[in-house]
Amino acid sequence: MDTLLSLVERIRDCFGVQVCVHDVSGVTYSRASLNLPYRWKSHGCAYCSAAKQCIGVERCMLQKQVVMYRLKRSGAKPFYGVCNMGVCEYIQPVVQEGRLLAVVFASGVAREDAQAARRKLEESLARGGCALAEQTLQSYEAFAQSTFATRAILSFLAELVCKHIRSAAVSYAESGVQPDAYPVEAVSRSQSGTVRAILDYLEGDICGPLTLRDLSSVFFMSEGHLCRIFKREMGLSIMAYVKQVRIRTAARLLLKGDEPVSAIGQRVGLADPNYFCRAFKSVMGVSPTEYRRVHALDQE
């Protein structure tokens, strides 16, 4: 069987269609044939990267949360739509025995929607007042010209990837490992699949706005279950983990220049200066100002 990576790469090379696999269960860690680099899980193509620079990662993450909310409300039924940045997407959930394993996004510019998609992009850029609007439009044109797609093609390719994932998941189950309350949960306990999927998601924008409710929606789990499996494997709560990573990111930024402490707090998602200083001291043992001063002396 081909690997999932080779399949999505061939789809890109043949059709110019970008596939994103949002793993909500850890299934992409259950077999080597399903492993994917992070860029294939996060809309990491050249155009999407340019769009995120223009409008900010937070808005892209919000759109993904809206998609996941719609899937939950509809009972995980596939659907087609056009995102605010002009990308046409067919969204196909990977369901096995009534459980959601992953969500496949097949993205391009469908021929029948090309004009409407571009108008939606232009309206989004106009509302946002993006300084990189011209460069984003140029990147979009290149993306659109490289895509050979229609709604039917996007639907077919999304289902093709879904079948590949389901087939590999069934093959793994037949080898003797049976999932329990959550899809591939047995695999998750041995290989930290679910938790690694959560860490992958957090890696995409750990400094943006984030709540347990958001993560619960994105991963189709209750807040309690999400917290339990994360703490069981990581030894601390999700929000404590997020706090530590934000603070250590801030520590690196403090040593890179003379950017004000309050500005660095905002950059890592801790906009309240007083809270940022308290949180920093609780993790690093000293205040941000003292941390910068001590390390400056060490470098002299």
pLDDT in tens, 70-117: 888 888 899 999 998 999 999 999 998 888 899 999 999 999 999 999
Amino acid at site 2: D
What pLDDT does residue 299 have? Answer: 55
More confident residue, 29 or 296: 29
What pLDDT does residue 211 have? Answer: 85
Contact in structure between 204 and 124 (CB atoms under 8 Å): no
Contact in structure between 55 and 130 (CB atoms under 8 Å): yes
Quick one: residue 211, left, alpha or beta (phi over 0 = left, psi -120 to 50 = alpha)?
A: beta
Averaged pLDDT for residues 213-227: 84
Is a pLDDT exceeding 80 seen at residue 196? yes
Q: Which distant-in-sequence residues (6+ apart) come within 8 Å of 174 by Cβ?
A: none
More confident residue, 24 or 170: 24
What pLDDT does residue 175 have? Answer: 44
Q: Tell me the C-alpha distance between 280 and 11, whole Å.
A: 45
Q: What percent of the chain has pLDDT over 70?
A: 90
What is the dihedral sign for C-alpha 252, 257, 262, 264?
Answer: negative
Contact in structure between 292 and 264 (CB atoms under 8 Å): no
pTM of the model: 0.73
Q: What is the mean pLDDT of the chain?
A: 84
Q: Chain centroid to CA 280: how far? A: 26
- Span of 76-80, 142-146, 177-181, 247-251 with lowest mean pLDDT: 177-181
Q: Which residue has the tokens 């470098």?
A: 299
What pLDDT does residue 64 have? Answer: 80
pLDDT band at 185; cut points 50, 70, 90: very low
